Structure 1
Amino acid sequence: MNLAQVNYQQLEGSIGLKFAGGNVGTIVGESLKYIFAVAGILLLIYLILGGFQYLTSAGDPKKAQEAQSKITQALIGFVIIFASYWIVQIVAAVLGLDKIRQTFQ
């Protein structure tokens, strides 16, 4: 009796990170996609927590100041992430690193 005999089809193409046999440009390019995505998610969470902390400060100046500081830090982080994206693009264009530039397009 063969109850669990199933033939699966082979999936075409590779899945996951494309680091195998890659050079530095490929590794950096593939890593940056995930780093920027995680940074964006963390930025959103940090902004939401700062806004919630500000709304629940109930007029306490110390709590309101802490919340404003958290929101300011999140926005500064966004500017750093945004600037780093464009710095990578400019450096890749100047140095001719096509693998990095293809990652972001």
Structure 2
Amino acid sequence: MKKKITLSILISEILNLISAPLAHAASLSDVYLPGKALGGSGATIGGFVTPLIQNLALLMTGLTFIILLLSGFKYITSHGNPKGTQQAKDMLTYSLVGLVLSIAAYWITKLAFVAAGLDFLF
């Protein structure tokens, strides 16, 4: 058992000695494009998160529009039934509140990215 531990420590130290010059050789431009020095794509967190957030905002807007249409249809087809009319009004209110919250979340996220100094692609 002691030989296995010694061997694993020896291998890890050899790997550390090999990787130290590689890390030191990175230029300043490679620091801003992670993974680029090793042949990666240079993708950043902002490049990944921004399309995700934008697509979620688009999805929320589409869902809100569909729910608005459904609540209008429900309101028209309730024929003065107080319970159906109230359900349609509640659907309308909840969908608009959801739209406002999703827009607020989008702008808060955008401001957080700007405050953190990360790139938020518009």
TM range (shorter): 0.7 to 0.9
Aligned-pair identity (%)? 34
Per-residue displacement from partner, 1:40-65 (whole Å, max 9, x unpaired)? 11110000100110111101000001
Structure of greater Rg:
2
Q: TM-score by structure 2 length?
A: 0.63
Which of 59, 64, 68 is the matching residue for 2:85?
Answer: 64
- For 1:35, the aligned partner's letter is L
Structure 1: runs of 5 or more not aligned: 1-19
Distance 1:36 1:22 in 2: 22
Aligned length: 82
Q: What is the letter of the counterpart of residue 77 of structure 1?
A: G
RMSD over aligned CA atoms reads 1.3
Q: What CA deviation, in whole Å up to 9, does each residue of 1:57-83 have, x standing for no partner?
A: 101000001100100010000111110
Match of 2:115? 94
Residue 88 of structure 2 aligns with an amino acid whose one-letter code is A
2:72 maps to what in 1? 51
What's the CA shift string for 1:8-50, capped at 9, x where partnerless? xxxxxxxxxxxx6523222111211211111111110000100
Q: Where in structure 2 are the equivalents of 1:20-35 lying within 5 Å?
A: 22-35=43-56
Unaligned runs of 5+ in 2: 1-40
- 1:79 maps to what in 2? 100
